[in-house]
Structure 1
Amino acid sequence: MMTVVEAPSVPRVLIAEADPWAREMLNELVLDVRCDAQLDVCSDGKQAVELMRGYIPDLVIASRELPGVDGLSLLRGVRLLRRQPPVRFILLSNRNDSASVREAVQLAPTAYLTKPLNMEGLRHRLETLLLQDGAQVACEIPALAPGVGLDGFLEKRREVADGGPLFVDVAQAVARSKGAAGVDLKLLEQELINDPHVTAVLIAAANSASQHQGKPQQTLGQALALLGATQSANLVQGLALKRGAILTDPSLILQASEIWDVSRRTAGYARILARTLELDHERCYCAGLLRGLGDLAVIRCLQDWLHAGGTLDDATIARALEQYSAAFGSALRTRWRLPLELRELIAAVYQYNTGVYTREVLAMNLAGQMGRLGVEDPLEALAKSKSARLLKIGASDLERVRNKLVA
């Protein structure tokens, strides 16, 4: 059911954007302004043309650099329809030179916005175009279909889950990262470095096909450097717009906090061990942080289950995590196309996948075991593990690693 308060008729919006992460950000931004909007989303101009053969949208948001039929040609075709009033069309582009701007302006776009986008400026335009006179729209979360149980709900969500909830307040993180010249990448990295979901999304975005990079980006720092300050800030702010990004249920918050704590400990131990062994400590830190992606994705889906009218208790939460976390994590890492080397290190936190025990794999496995221990738990048994023995790390060495993290 949907409740509308002083709202205009439901708008139909077409988004055409090749980059999957920018496309998702635009999708969430439109829904944040008009949660009831009917959205059609496509990745190339030909799909957009096919969609518009069936209807004319109230608003088109299209990238100039679309494959197939580019956004400028799409705008030209829409203007040839000679609709009155003209179809509202926001053209996004990487080009800001005067010739490119003049070429577009001749076709009278509603707005010509250059990338990376100004999120607040775009939001303001969308509010002007999709709302009238301060109208507000409230949309209720759809209720569960009759007869749907938690297992069926989670099975259906496994391949489409949005990832985990946010650990950091991204609005504050971006605000604290701004200086006189705009967002400072180093400050932004410091603000986001402990958030598994943000880290995974930025790495995935940096490795998307639209970036045209041969070398995979495997750390948060590498991803931020490639994406740039504005695009990175836009992406993380877009994550906060998604439903379920912020946990509200106390039991789920407690469970997520425990997962975050283990992940941060694992990441910290992985970084210290990697430095000691002269390995890639940033990549090892990142792999340790991402160990709990599947657990956190399940937690977020459980919150959606609650909001849709389902019920939970501690035993049900524990069972869902045990049964579904590994599958959710695997599905996310594959769908987001995280680099294979990074995926192997994440997997090594739990077990060895192959008979080839690289020093990084062994270090990650050892960090994973340490991360699951309490700060007062003895380390003698861990020093006898296969990973510690192959790395020639004794109990006293492990104690020094733990002391460095605690300090």
Structure 2
Amino acid sequence: MSTVDLPAVPRVLIAEADPWSRDLLKQVLLNVRCDARLDLCADGQEALQLLAEQSYDLVIADGELPGVDGLGLLRSVRQRRRHPPLPFILMSHRNDSASVREAVQLAPTAYLTKPLNMQGLTLRLQGLLLSAGQTVSCEVPTLAPGMTLATFLERRRELADGAPLLTDVQLAVKRSLNPNGLDLRLLEEEVRTDPQITAVLIAAANSAAQHLGEGVQTLSQALHRLGTGQSMNLVLGLALKRSAKLSDPCLADYAERYWELSLHTAEYGRTLARLLDLDQERCYCAGMLHCLGDLALLRCLQEWKQAGGELDDEQEVGEALVTFAAAYGSALRTRWRLPLELRELIAAVYRLGGGVYSREALVMNMAAQLARLTEHEGVEELAKSRTARLLKIGLPELMRLRKT
């Protein structure tokens, strides 16, 4: 099918089992054709059903789909003998000659091996969905008549994309490259202070397609579970989303404050964990992620403004944070299926409930109290706290921690 035959607004089916890879494909495609109509599914049987109900201009399918795999899906499409043939991009982890030959017999438009080369995929999509020299621009969706800020935020809670990026991901990836490719250790150093990147990589590493053995609770574990290609794709893909960066000065200032609080909590958590011979990286990640809801809400407030909504003053931003931030954080951690143990450490940052506490939970509670101290406050009261007593940390240790 040539590009001139494509309709003004193409309809595309993306069939990918892994939710994070599926979302990445969606973002890459929308970056090429922001007006495309997309249908997403996670298994081959649903893809067959959608193909029977709709007419598509392009199919992108994972070769390892559950139920009917990508090859079976392609075979079904070719048996319909559509003319011209329906463009079909097949992706697979298999790059052996036998697998490639089997797929080539069914004439896919492209056979791409995973992890995908995003630049190569983008060029393929441009060739399939755009005429030579064509560009497509899309307006930001506007608010429905009568929409209030409270209603908008309530509706966005379960759909929010998470926190804004606080790291230049293009630069981070560039700095992590060496002559042999991407260095995961360098990439970790570049992105470890970004809550959104940390959360997404941990969530992706724990998704159904990646979950092999124990759950992933730290950035380092996530990077090594995902590998160089998938890690790089996910990090770069985050920058493709709308409102990935905060451009509003007031909202950016709020984000800076929450980022600093996250950094201080994470550093105190790691230092305390090292002092008590506990898991330093788990404590660091819990501290880094505890303001995820506040940051996600700020991103949604920017989307509100971009859609034509008004924010009168800082008080309105503050009130929105007080009302919705905790719910946003809880919804994200649940929807992204962050491990329960990590979520318990994040919860301990805010309060200690009844029952028995792990020493790491106590560490995070103490780290949060230290991070929230103003420069004029001492640690004397903290030394008398229940958390300090349970950790068996006295005033001298807390004073040394405060000076680091």
Q: Distance in 2 between matches of 1:13 and 1:357?
A: 50
Cα offset, 1:388, TM superposition = 1.2
Question: Would you say the 8 A contact 1:170–1:237 is kept in 2?
Answer: yes
Partner residue of 1:384?
384
Partner residue of 1:229?
228
Residue identity matched to 2:36: A
Normalised to the residue count of structure 1, the TM-score between the two structures is 0.96
Q: Which runs of 4+ in 1 moved over 6 A?
A: none
Residue identity matched to 1:228: G
Going from structure 1 to structure 2, the CA distance change for 1:212 and 1:362 (only over 3 Å counts) comes to closer
Cα offset, 1:8, TM superposition = 6.3
CA deviation profile, 1:362-396 (whole Å, cap 9, x unmatched): 11000011111234431111222211122122232
Residue identity matched to 2:145: P
Q: How many residue pairs were aligned?
A: 398
Counterparts of residues 137-152 of structure 1 (less than 5 Å): 137-152=136-151
Residue identity matched to 1:338: L
> Which segment drifts farther, 371-380 or 204-213?
371-380
Question: Would you say the 8 A contact 2:294–2:325 is kept in 1?
Answer: yes
1:59 paired with 2:66, answer no
Partner residue of 1:20?
19
Partner residue of 1:176?
175
CA deviation profile, 1:70-100 (whole Å, cap 9, x unmatched): 1101111111121222110000001001000
The CA RMSD over aligned residues, in Å, is 1.1
Matched position secondary structure for 2:209 = helix
Question: Would you say the 8 A contact 1:375–1:402 is kept in 2?
Answer: no
Q: Distance in 1 between matches of 2:8 and 2:148?
A: 35
Q: Distance in 1 between matches of 2:363 and 2:44?
A: 47
Normalised to the residue count of structure 2, the TM-score between the two structures is 0.97
Going from structure 1 to structure 2, the CA distance change for 1:96 and 1:375 (only over 3 Å counts) comes to farther
Partner residue of 1:3?
none
Residue identity matched to 1:146: P
Question: Would you say the 8 A contact 1:32–1:241 is kept in 2?
Answer: yes
Question: Would you say the 8 A contact 1:28–1:238 is kept in 2?
Answer: yes
Cα offset, 1:214, TM superposition = 2.5
Partner residue of 2:3?
none
Matched position secondary structure for 1:136 = coil
Partner residue of 1:107?
106
Counterparts of residues 231-270 of structure 1 (less than 5 Å): 231-270=230-269
Cα offset, 1:160, TM superposition = 1.4
Partner residue of 1:47?
46
Q: Distance in 1 between matches of 2:354 and 2:190?
A: 35
CA deviation profile, 1:231-269 (whole Å, cap 9, x unmatched): 001011111111111111000000000000000000000
Q: Which runs of 5+ in 1 are unaligned?
A: 1-6
Partner residue of 1:277?
276
Partner residue of 1:4?
none
Cα offset, 1:398, TM superposition = 1.3
> Which segment drifts farther, 381-390 or 146-155?
381-390
Matched position secondary structure for 1:62 = strand
Question: Would you say the 8 A contact 2:287–2:364 is kept in 1?
Answer: yes
Partner residue of 1:372?
372
Partner residue of 2:317?
317
How high is the sequence identity, in percent, across the aligned residues? Answer: 63
Q: Distance in 2 between matches of 1:110 and 1:359?
A: 55
Q: Which runs of 5+ in 2 are unaligned?
A: 1-5
Q: Distance in 1 between matches of 2:127 and 2:353?
A: 53
Q: Distance in 1 between matches of 2:195 and 2:323?
A: 21
Cα offset, 1:397, TM superposition = 1.0
Residue identity matched to 2:117: N
Q: Distance in 2 between matches of 1:127 and 1:403?
A: 55
Question: Would you say the 8 A contact 2:205–2:211 is kept in 1?
Answer: no
Matched position secondary structure for 2:38 = strand
Counterparts of residues 72-221 of structure 1 (less than 5 Å): 72-221=71-220
